[in-house]
Protein backbone atom coordinates (compact mmCIF):
# COMPACT_ATOMS: atom_id res chain seq x y z
CA UNK A 1 0.00 0.00 0.00
CA UNK A 2 1.46 3.35 -1.07
CA UNK A 3 0.66 6.39 1.01
CA UNK A 4 0.28 9.73 -0.79
CA UNK A 5 -0.14 13.12 0.84
CA UNK A 6 -1.76 15.75 -1.36
CA UNK A 7 -1.74 19.53 -0.92
CA UNK A 8 -4.93 21.05 0.43
CA UNK A 9 -6.31 22.25 -2.93
CA UNK A 10 -5.93 18.80 -4.45
CA UNK A 11 -7.44 17.09 -1.40
CA UNK A 12 -10.50 19.25 -1.87
CA UNK A 13 -10.59 18.48 -5.56
CA UNK A 14 -10.24 14.74 -4.93
CA UNK A 15 -12.65 14.96 -2.00
CA UNK A 16 -10.35 13.22 0.42
CA UNK A 17 -9.69 14.26 3.97
CA UNK A 18 -6.23 12.96 4.65
CA UNK A 19 -3.66 10.60 3.21
CA UNK A 20 -4.56 8.62 0.14
CA UNK A 21 -3.66 4.93 0.09
CA UNK A 22 -3.07 3.32 -3.28
CA UNK A 23 -2.34 -0.14 -4.61
CA UNK A 24 0.44 0.12 -7.16
CA UNK A 25 1.20 -2.88 -9.33
CA UNK A 26 4.81 -3.59 -10.24
CA UNK A 27 7.73 -1.35 -9.51
CA UNK A 28 6.90 1.68 -7.41
CA UNK A 29 7.97 4.75 -9.37
CA UNK A 30 6.73 8.34 -9.62
CA UNK A 31 4.94 7.46 -12.82
CA UNK A 32 3.31 4.34 -11.35
CA UNK A 33 2.13 6.21 -8.27
CA UNK A 34 0.76 9.13 -10.26
CA UNK A 35 -0.91 6.81 -12.75
CA UNK A 36 -2.64 5.01 -9.89
CA UNK A 37 -3.55 8.30 -8.21
CA UNK A 38 -5.09 9.76 -11.37
CA UNK A 39 -6.92 6.52 -12.15
CA UNK A 40 -8.59 6.61 -8.77
CA UNK A 41 -9.20 10.37 -8.78
CA UNK A 42 -9.67 11.45 -12.41
CA UNK A 43 -10.23 15.06 -11.33
CA UNK A 44 -6.52 15.23 -10.53
CA UNK A 45 -5.55 14.61 -14.15
CA UNK A 46 -3.63 17.57 -15.46
CA UNK A 47 -3.15 19.18 -12.04
CA UNK A 48 0.10 17.49 -11.03
CA UNK A 49 1.57 16.79 -14.46
CA UNK A 50 0.75 17.99 -17.93
CA UNK A 51 -1.93 16.01 -19.77
CA UNK A 52 0.14 15.54 -22.89
CA UNK A 53 3.81 15.62 -21.94
CA UNK A 54 3.29 14.03 -18.51
CA UNK A 55 5.89 16.49 -17.22
CA UNK A 56 5.56 17.60 -13.61
CA UNK A 57 3.93 21.01 -13.45
CA UNK A 58 6.54 23.69 -12.69
CA UNK A 59 5.24 24.61 -9.23
CA UNK A 60 4.62 21.08 -8.00
CA UNK A 61 7.25 19.19 -6.05
CA UNK A 62 7.62 15.57 -4.95
CA UNK A 63 9.18 14.87 -1.57
CA UNK A 64 9.70 11.62 0.36
CA UNK A 65 11.98 10.40 3.11
CA UNK A 66 13.26 13.96 3.58
CA UNK A 67 14.49 14.04 0.00
CA UNK A 68 13.42 16.19 -2.92
CA UNK A 69 12.58 13.72 -5.68
CA UNK A 70 11.14 16.33 -8.03
CA UNK A 71 13.94 16.07 -10.53
CA UNK A 72 14.28 12.29 -10.45
CA UNK A 73 13.33 10.44 -13.63
CA UNK A 74 9.66 9.42 -13.53
CA UNK A 75 10.54 5.76 -13.98
CA UNK A 76 13.20 5.64 -11.27
CA UNK A 77 12.25 3.48 -8.28
CA UNK A 78 11.01 5.44 -5.27
CA UNK A 79 12.69 4.84 -1.91
CA UNK A 80 11.99 1.45 -0.34
CA UNK A 81 10.24 3.12 2.59
CA UNK A 82 7.70 4.62 0.16
CA UNK A 83 7.26 1.31 -1.65
CA UNK A 84 6.63 -0.45 1.65
CA UNK A 85 4.21 2.20 2.90
CA UNK A 86 6.41 3.16 5.82
CA UNK A 87 6.83 6.69 4.51
CA UNK A 88 4.38 8.75 2.42
CA UNK A 89 5.00 10.21 -1.02
CA UNK A 90 4.37 13.94 -0.71
CA UNK A 91 2.92 16.02 -3.53
CA UNK A 92 3.64 19.61 -2.61
CA UNK A 93 2.61 22.94 -4.09
CA UNK A 94 5.88 24.84 -4.34
CA UNK A 95 6.46 27.11 -1.36
CA UNK A 96 7.21 30.07 -3.56
CA UNK A 97 5.59 32.86 -5.44
CA UNK A 98 1.88 33.38 -5.54
CA UNK A 99 -0.03 36.62 -5.92
Using rule CB under 8 A, residue 40 touches another protein? no
Q: Which of residues 51-90 bind another protein (CB under 8 A)?
A: 51-52, 57-60
CB of 57 to another protein, least distance (A): 6
First-to-final CA distance of the chain: 37
Residues of this chain that interact with another protein (CB under 8 A) are 7, 9-10, 13, 43, 45-48, 50-52, 57-60, 93-94, 97-99
Amino acid sequence: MIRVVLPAHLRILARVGGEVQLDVAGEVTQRAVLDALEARFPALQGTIRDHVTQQRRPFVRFFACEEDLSHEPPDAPLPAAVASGTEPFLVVGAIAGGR
